[in-house]
Chains A and B, each alone.
Chain A
Amino acid sequence: MQETAWGWLIISYLFLAGAGSGAFVAAAACDLFAPDWSKALARAGSLVSGPLVAIGTMCLFFDLEAGFWQPWRQIYLVSNLSSMISWGVLVLSVFIPVAVLYAAALNDISVVGRFAKRYVRLLAAVGSFLALATAGYTGVLIAVVNGVPFWNTPVIPVLFLASAMSTGLAIAMICAAVIDINTIRSLSNLALGHLVLLTVEGIVLMLFIFISLTRSSEAAASAMALISGAFSPLFWVFVVMLGILVPFALSAVEYYEYGRLPKSLVVAADLLILVGGMSLRALIIFSASPPQII
């Protein structure tokens, strides 16, 4: 009897789709509200968003069994609108092209970019909505699973949404630094974004653990595995310390000591947020325990 069906491919998808949609929201927000000094981030965020979500979708494809060997079967994937996967397929298949068009518009890529530029506001609005839908959906996907009590709570989509926004901002900042390392000084303004998002993520994570401890014996067993059981070293080191506390501290220094934090540490904070986001999803998937049935 197999107790866990999903593994690293699904975890990678949850992470990549979250980071990709978060990067889109970060790019759109920068482009709409601060186009003068955050151009590099808007360009970088929009450029990575579509590919990240597309790579995540490839992970889903590789995780299929019969649908991988006989890809034409995937036509059936939208047959059941009470299934979150059907909704996910619809959202992803609209979001990825919108994200690519938006990237083309912001980066003036060929004739497509010139065409898309005329609708750049519309693309930003529709894309942001779809990005939030994608990020939230990765949480709803596992939150509706009543075969795993630990996941079966509306806090999960909120947690994944918060984590998606913070990992998205982080990857957009890393890519902005790759495009133009001098931009990093102006990016110190965005450290405030990290402070807010990491705070929200930390609080929601705390709520999730506390609620799980009292919700049911199975959810409590999973939560205990994270905070004091088999997964606790990984949870405290990778999710809490490296994923939230250290980047929070670095971002705080970066924000208050405007622009004086070494560039390597700015990028390090962003990388750590990515490590934390991936670890969070992996641990939530692997700590799932099935209902006590006998």
Chain B
Amino acid sequence: MPRYGLVIDTTRCIGCHSCRVACQNQQGLPSDRSFNWIKEKDSGKFPAFEKEFVPLQCNQCENPPCLRVCPTGAIYASPEGAILVHENRCVGCKYCMEACPYKVRMIDDHKGISVKCWFCIDLVRAGGEPACVSTCPTQVRIFGDLDDPASKVSRFIAKHRAQPLRSDLNTQPKIFYKRS
């Protein structure tokens, strides 16, 4: 069984929000809802001003704080390592939203359950890639099997020493970033 992960190269991101729109279309989300965001980080002063775009979504942590605090056991890890939610078990207590350090969870207004990015696991199981990955016009994102050292994503992470966001929190994310 593969263990899916993603590497994001922020040096290539132009902040066009295609990934966000693709995600909204794929997941049928309204325009004010999304499972991914582009955070902006400013640094320096004119003329050496820099803006970095950092796409953010659920990190599919190996050690997920949301799963640990979920009282109903609705949050679980799929065999591929994606963190999913049992739609019929979640009561909407929002403990997972508080526990997530990346603050990527939200309540689905219709179902009343906690939702987030799930690596488009339906597309992936059918042999495709998550919508944000296949849409990105500047190829910021590489998706694949982290357990296969020959996969594109593993080689990219190894070559550029890509790191997850806030690895000190010990959440062990499966999304890595090359930021310089």
Contact = CB atoms under 8 A, between A and B. Distances in A.
Contacts of A76: 71-74, 89, 91
Nearest to B91: A67
A86 to B, nearest CB: 4
Interface in A272-294: 290-291, 293-294
Interface in B93-144: 93-95, 97-107, 111-113
A294 B41 CA distance: 7
A128 B73 CA distance: 30
A64 B112 CA distance: 8
B98 A5 contact: yes
A66 B71 contact: no
Interface string B27-48: 0000000000101010000000
B69 A144 contact: yes
Interface stretch (A77-85, A108-116, A153-161, A259-267): A77-85
Contacts, number: 126
Contacts of A83: 68-71, 95
Contacts of A78: 71
A77 B89 CA distance: 9
B103 A146 contact: no
B15 interface: no
Contact of B65 (A3, A67, A147): A147
A70 B90 CA distance: 10
A293 B101 contact: yes
A1 B91 contact: no
B103 A2 contact: yes
A67 B99 contact: no
Contact of A82 (B41, B68, B105): B68
Given A79-B71, A83-B71, A147-B101, A293 B106 contact: no
A291 B95 contact: no
Given A77-B72, A146-B65, A64 B91 contact: yes
Given A76-B72, A78-B71, A84-B69, A65 B101 contact: no
Contacts of B91: 64-68, 73-74, 76-77
Nearest to B87: A66
A146 B169 contact: yes
A1 B112 contact: no
B166 interface: yes
Contact of A85 (B54, B71, B165, B169): B71
Nearest to A71: B91
Given A6-B98, A147-B101, A64 B93 contact: yes
B162 interface: no
A2 B37 CA distance: 12
B77 interface: no
Interface of B: 37, 39, 41, 52, 54, 56, 65, 68-74, 88-95, 97-107, 111-113, 165-166, 169
Interface of A: 1-3, 5-6, 60, 63-70, 73-74, 76-80, 82-86, 89, 142, 144-148, 290-291, 293-294
